[in-house]
Amino acid sequence: MPKAKIYFVGAGPGEPALITLRGAQILRQADCVIYDGLVSEALLDGCPADCEKICVRKRTGEHPFTQEQIHQLLIQKTAQCRTVVRLKGGDPNLFGRLAEEIQLCIRLGADFEVVPGVTAATAAAACAGLFLTDRQSSSQVIFVTGQETPDKAETALDWDLLARFRGTIAFYMAMSNLAQIVQILLEKGKSPQTPAAVIQNAAGPNQRIAYASLETIASECSRQGIEAPAIVLIGPTAVYRQEYDWFSRRPLFGKTILITRDEEGNRRLAGCLRQQGAEVLCFASISVHPLLNTDAAASALSRLREMDWVVFTSPRGVRFTFEGLASLGKDGRAFGNAKIACIGPETARRLAEVGLRADFVPTRFIGEALAEELAAREPLEHKKILLLRSAIAPDDLPCCLRQRGACVEDVPIYTVKPASPAPEQIQPLRRRLTQRQIDWILFASSSAAEAFFQTFPKETVLQSGTRLASIGPATTRRLRQLGFSPAVEAPVHTADGLLEAILRYYD
């Protein structure tokens, strides 16, 4: 067994995109990840499928691991695995008990590496539109734990210094002691008018902020129900200025969007929606399965070069075709001089990733348009056209091509099935629907729409006040048949188009 290495990785403040490149790279190789409660679980999607994931400090868990139990776990996993990741919220070096865990590594003789992360205080300042330092008013910044209260027999904090401090104080873990912290700072002479800001869930879609003077900040937090995890900033720069508030100005901030593609599709779409500020809930209503071991697929893949045109109608079709070719020991050269058509830019992009350029992409990304526009470009009589697509794809494309005289082979290279979600995946979503907390449900295919409504009763959705968004005419038709009328349909029938449709809705 090769020697284990333990990586202490900063996960950032909870927004998955804020991990470092090095952190993400290590997660892709992890055999085991031991992570804290404030870490975004979306980061774990980046781990290999067989990676063991252990949460040691659940946010609401009744039995968080003690530090001693975490040490035992590290000892055990170091004996069993090669790459052990200790994933900690924010930066592992700040209030993360890093020293103790590294001392353990040294005792074990294990190799280790520390990967820094975006700490909560800098994320909070960035996303609140505040400054930790400012040439005019704050030339120093201090990170302080709020757990060390002055009633401790021997506090490690220098309260006199904090009261005198001319700069920004960032308190971590301070919410349960906030009133007491404020009181002692005032008693030690800090001005009651010093600005203060408390940022809850910094950088996340549910970020909330209270602004007040030092004197009133604790009661303001109670009034607004601001709770942990939160950063308390105290100092001259902790003042709200609307023009600096880029975060809550993002178009989808405050909106909750439920997406219903397969797991991989959801992951990609979730990233785009999050960038626009939305809270994204994922439900994988369908799962995708390659059909590479069929005679039809094997025969089609061995005759690509005999075709006039090979048509892809989804990025997945491209992916599975190339996986199929690779398993036959072949690559893109198998296409010979056959021309390649892609239904839209996402599919063409996927093709470009494997080094091939699409010869044709229609201007509208639906089957009918592909056939029409291809026929306008060249006569299709007796042309051999191979479609490599989903087993449940609609008939419009092959029908339209055949009407124009083409010899069409329609070969399923993958299929889509309704997923079988566990009750714990369904219940929280159903609860949020019933509580009218979901603004949008997005449908990127008719099969996803169908599968979704096999799990979620029509009535629940109708009564939830949520709006539906459809990727294109076929999906809209299916939604109508199911009894819904989508509030928007994507102008361009791609995932980007779906996002665009929602952004336009709020314009």
- What residues line the site for ligand SAH (CB under 6 A)? 13-14, 38, 88-91, 94-96, 119-120, 124, 172-173, 199, 201-204, 228-231
The nearest distance, CB 236 to ligand SAH, in angstroms, is 21
C-beta nearest to ligand SAH: residue? 90
Contact 385, 359 (CB under 8 A): no
Q: Tell me whether residue 14 or residue 367 sits nearer to ligand SAH (CB atom).
A: 14
DSSP state of 416: E
Say whether 77 is catalytic: no
**Among candidate residues 39, 451, 15, 22, the one with its CA nearest the CA of residue 273:** 15
Q: Which residue has the tokens 């939160």?
A: 230
Catalytic choice (5, 88, 91, 173): 173
Q: In what order do the strands lie in the sheet with 83-88?
A: 52-57, 32-36, 83-88, 5-10, 111-115
- For residue 272, which amino acid is it? C
Pull the structure tokens for residue 22.
């090095």
Cα-only R_g, the chain: 28
Other beta carbons less than 10 A from residue 153's beta carbon: 4
Q: Cα 338 from chain centroid?
A: 38
> Taking each helix axis from N to C terminus, what angle separates 263-275 and 495-506, rounded to the nearest 10 degrees?
40
Q: Tell me whether residue 124 or residue 301 sits nearer to ligand SAH (CB atom).
A: 124
Say whether 173 is catalytic: yes
The nearest distance, CB 362 to ligand SAH, in angstroms, is 45
Q: Tell me whether residue 238 or residue 311 sits nearer to ligand SAH (CB atom).
A: 238
Q: Cα 203 from chain centroid?
A: 13
DSSP state of 96: S
The nearest distance, CB 419 to ligand SAH, in angstroms, is 30
Q: Which residue has the tokens 């009763």?
A: 457
Q: Tell me whether residue 200 or residue 447 sits nearer to ligand SAH (CB atom).
A: 200
The nearest distance, CB 173 to ligand SAH, in angstroms, is 4
Catalytic choice (5, 36, 91, 410): 36
Q: Tell me whether residue 174 or residue 469 sits nearer to ligand SAH (CB atom).
A: 174
Say whether 1 is catalytic: no
- Enumerate residues 6+ apart whose C-beta is below 8 A from 52: 31, 32, 33, 77, 81
Pull the structure tokens for residue 157.
């904090």
Contact 247, 129 (CB under 8 A): yes
* Whole-number Å distance between alpha carbons of 362 and 373: 6
* Whole-number Å distance between alpha carbons of 421 and 436: 22
Contact 87, 43 (CB under 8 A): yes
DSSP state of 65: P
Written as one string, the DSSP assignment of 218-264 is HHHHHHHT--SSEEEEESTT----GGG--STTSTTTT-EEEE-S-HH
Contact 151, 174 (CB under 8 A): no
Q: Tell me whether residue 95 or residue 453 sits nearer to ligand SAH (CB atom).
A: 95
Q: Tell me whether residue 96 or residue 265 sits nearer to ligand SAH (CB atom).
A: 96
The nearest distance, CB 88 to ligand SAH, in angstroms, is 6
Contact 216, 471 (CB under 8 A): no
Q: Cα 151 from chain centroid?
A: 42
Q: Tell me whether residue 231 or residue 444 sits nearer to ligand SAH (CB atom).
A: 231
**Strand, coil or helix: 196:** strand
The nearest distance, CB 198 to ligand SAH, in angstroms, is 9
Other beta carbons less than 10 A from residue 445's beta carbon: 25
Q: Tell me whether residue 70 or residue 173 sits nearer to ligand SAH (CB atom).
A: 173
Residues with catalytic roles: 36, 58, 173
